[in-house]
Amino acid sequence: MEMVSRRWGSGARVDNVDTGKKKLLKAAITCFVGKGIQATTIEDIANAANVTRRTVYRYYNGKSELIAAVIDLERRQLFKQLHRVCEPFEHDFARMLEECMACAAEILSVSAGGADLLSGGNTVEALPHILSEDSHRDWEELFYTPYQRYRHNHPDVHSLTHIIELTGRLVLSFRYVPGDPNAIRHAVRAFMSLTPSSPPHSG
């Protein structure tokens, strides 16, 4: 504890933390892809980043926190891309959903044979971290206004929360079952062409 306060004194602190975290995340990704999340130890990550184990623990409470940080980074990159793809369809929510799914298929479909952070044995280790509350917030931010506009013209549309539930599930599925973007557009549209039967139970 003494050492920490000596090393992280005064104004340099925030900058150092950011740089240090970035360096460790890069090292963690390299290890996770290379030897798999399960086999990777904190020591491996420390070696890859050329720091001590103690330094790793100064930034992250353990491997689980590192996995979460790596997934978080990837999630933010995906949504940055989705925002870009969605922009032209702000006045056509149904089409926007289609394009989101096609974009996700393109980005997330694991190409055969290629090593990837979430492919192979990593799937299982990473899954609990992908299903975070954060994703739901990201979807809501992306869809909220276009959905409200859509609802204005389609008053029978169901709640956004339920739409997001299926959307998130489909997007995630590309990790495990690659999809062709155009086939996905057709599939999404086909599902929308159905009309829900009257609700079987209340609520």
CA 30 to CA 78: how far, in whole Å? Answer: 19
Query: Is residue 189 a contact point for a second copy (CB under 8 A)?
Result: yes
Backbone angles phi and psi of 197, in degrees to 5: -70, 160
| Token pair listed for 166 | 């299926």
For a second copy, which is the closer residue by CB, 34 or 121? 121
Q: Is-contact 73 24, C-beta < 8 A? A: no
The Cα 124–Cα 116 span in angstroms is 13
Total of chain residues touching a second copy, rule CB under 8 A = 47
Q: Is 119 in the site for a second copy (CB under 8 A)?
A: yes
DSSP 131: S
Phi-psi map region of 111: left, alpha, beta (phi>0 left; psi -120 to 50 alpha): beta
Interface with a second copy (CB under 8 A), residue from 19, 124, 141, 144: 124
Binding mask 148-177 toward a second copy (x if CB under 8 A, else -) reads ------x-xxxx--xx-xx--xx-xx-xxx
Which CB atom, from 12 or from 124, has the smaller least distance to a second copy? 124
DSSP 3-state assignment of 132? coil
Interaction of residue 88 with a second copy, rule CB under 8 A: no
User: Contact positions toward a second copy, by CB under 8 A?
Assistant: 92-95, 97-98, 119-121, 123-124, 127, 131, 154, 156-159, 162-163, 165-166, 169-170, 172-173, 175-177, 179, 183-197, 199-200
